[in-house]
Amino acid sequence: MAYLLSCHGTVVCHDPATGALTHRGLTEAGALLDVGDGLQIGIGNFLRNDIFGLTEVLSSGPLAGWTVTRSADVQALFVVRDGQYMTALADRADLVVAPDRPVFESAFVAIGPEDLAVLRGLLAGKWLTETDEAPVAAAMAPEFGVRIGGVSVDLRFNLPFDRTEWPNRLALHTDVWRVRHIHRYRPLVYFVAYGDTRVMRQFAMSVTSLVTVGGYDGEIVVITDKPAAEIRALLPPGVAVALLPTRAVDRVGYVAARYAIAEWRGAGDYQPLLYSDADILFDRPIAPMLRDIVRSARVCAAPEPYRVADSPLVGSDLLADDHCPVAADRFGFNAGTLGIPNMARHGQTLALIARTLRNRREVVGRDSGGLVDQPIANYVAMRTGGFDTAVLSRYVRLANAVADPAERRGLVHFCWVPNADTRVATMTAYLAALSGHGA
């Protein structure tokens, strides 16, 4: 199955009731005209050097008796019968014929249904390119072109698409042969909100800083056992969050709930995802951090000042129990912020951390002391290739009660503040201090 895409970025349609052939925009309704298989160029055609031999006489359907053949530039197709060429003019919807010789508007390319879905998805999304700083939209351009911000591609040299990592990443060719990658951009920031009023107050301040100082206008999800009315009452007017109702019975469950995102099917619709502990305040716009997370090859976390070889806070006892050698100069990471490029590639890592945590607690007891997930996350990272600590080190500060707004760089995590009451007071004071610094 394949369809015909015109040089205008329209697709050929057939009206079964009237027999009319038209070309319509990719988002318009219409019965697409199927011209069959065998018209797209594959590696086998290149190996055999028989690309010019890719012709087909259509034996059925509205174009029965017409011949589909290659254009002189190899990449496009002509549909011809009796010396007349099917042509799509920009200023009329119905197809016409160009007698004697083809014009540029007589050229088409074959596009399969899967690639047509990719093209439509490309036009519907926001993308990060190698040349544009901010996310950009894609739009059709003349002569089989698609423009994504500063990147221009010719569909004749890009079909069929490499759909290996679609819809998160797409490899494209510019200038015929140069490889460029674009990354889908649909961010999600998510929180876990359990506990008493002090924890919920921290959560409310964190979300408030995210949408004000952090400049974030994307989607927010909260994993919680609280009713929607209680969550709404904590947040500024106009701030919308989606709830993932999740029951947890104790502190172990509260902390482990951040990994429940791996079981939510909707998480796969986002790229990147950022998990934030409730005791975090955002003190600069977070868009640069989100863009860096998208481009990372690994899950991102903030570095801790503790060595993996000798600190239980980052999993030293787990690694020792598993007889896993560790470099003496390797530092661990903090699990309070997790930058997840996408769930398709990294969801299994989060699920593995959750499963390892569950199994470890079976061995040592659910109520055993110490940190809940951070040692486990560090252990799993060591066994699976590590997390990226360079990206978030540029944006995250781990802080105690003393944090200077003048040193802000993205977010500050008050993980070293000793108790909930002090943490609320510290976060409140820091938010006030931010306003004094023009943030």
pLDDT at residue number 229: 96
Binned at pLDDT 50, 70 and 90, residue 38 comes out as: confident
Helix (H) or strand (E) holding 424: helix 420-436
d(CA 366, CA 173): 53
Q: What's phi and psi for 85, nearest 5 deg?
A: -115, 130
Q: Are strands 188-193 and 273-276 parallel, antiparallel or unpaired?
A: parallel
Binned at pLDDT 50, 70 and 90, residue 410 comes out as: very high
Question: Mean pLDDT across the stretch 381-398?
Answer: 95
pLDDT at residue number 208: 97
Each domain of the chain, given as residue ranges in start order, spans 3-111, 117-184, 188-436
Beta bridge partners of 224: 193, 245
List C-alpha distances in Å: 403 to 215, 218, 395, 418, 433: 21, 27, 14, 14, 10
Respond yes or no on whether the N-terminal peptide bond of residue 325 is cis (omega within 30° of 0).
no
Beta bridge partners of 339: 274, 300
Q: Residue with structure tokens 């707004």?
A: 405
CA neighbours closer than 13 Å in the CB half-sphere of residue 59: 2
pLDDT at residue number 30: 80
pLDDT at residue number 88: 96
Binned at pLDDT 50, 70 and 90, residue 315 comes out as: very high
Could you tell me what percent of the chain has a pLDDT over 90?
Answer: 84
Does the structure show a pLDDT above 90 at 186? yes
R_g over Cα of the chain: 28
Of 186, 413, 78, 394, whose CA–CA distance to 277 is shortest?
413
Does the structure show a pLDDT above 90 at 437? no
d(CA 205, CA 326): 38
pLDDT tens for residues 157-179? 999 999 999 999 999 999 999 99
pLDDT tens for residues 344-384? 999 999 999 999 999 999 999 999 888 999 999 999 999 99
pLDDT tens for residues 250-295? 999 999 999 999 999 999 999 999 999 999 999 999 999 999 999 9
Q: What's phi and psi for 285, nearest 5 deg?
A: -55, 135
pLDDT tens for residues 111-141? 999 999 999 999 999 999 999 999 999 999 9
Q: Residue with structure tokens 């988002």?
A: 27
pLDDT at residue number 99: 80
pLDDT at residue number 74: 64
Structure letter (DSSP) for residue 34? P
d(CA 287, CA 161): 29
Which of 61-65, 191-195, 242-246, 378-382 shows the lowest mean pLDDT across its residues?
Answer: 61-65
Mean pLDDT comparison of 22-31, 93-102, 408-417, highest-scoring range: 408-417
pLDDT at residue number 134: 95
d(CA 161, CA 163): 6
Per the model's pLDDT, the better-predicted residue between 420 and 55 turns out to be 420
DSSP result, 99-119? ESS--GGG-EEEE-HHHHHHH
pLDDT at residue number 43: 87
Which of 64-68, 181-185, 216-220 shows the lowest mean pLDDT across its residues?
Answer: 64-68
For the chain, what is the mean pLDDT?
94
pLDDT at residue number 70: 86
Does the structure show a pLDDT above 80 at 73? no
Binned at pLDDT 50, 70 and 90, residue 36 comes out as: confident
The pTM (predicted TM-score) of the whole model is: 0.92
Q: Are 170 and 197 in contact (CB under 8 A)?
A: no
Top-tier CATH class for 188-436: alpha beta
Burial of 439 (C-beta count, 10 Å sphere; 0-12/13-18/19+): middle
pLDDT at residue number 98: 87
Does the structure show a pLDDT above 90 at 7? yes
Question: Mean pLDDT across the stretch 186-205?
Answer: 97
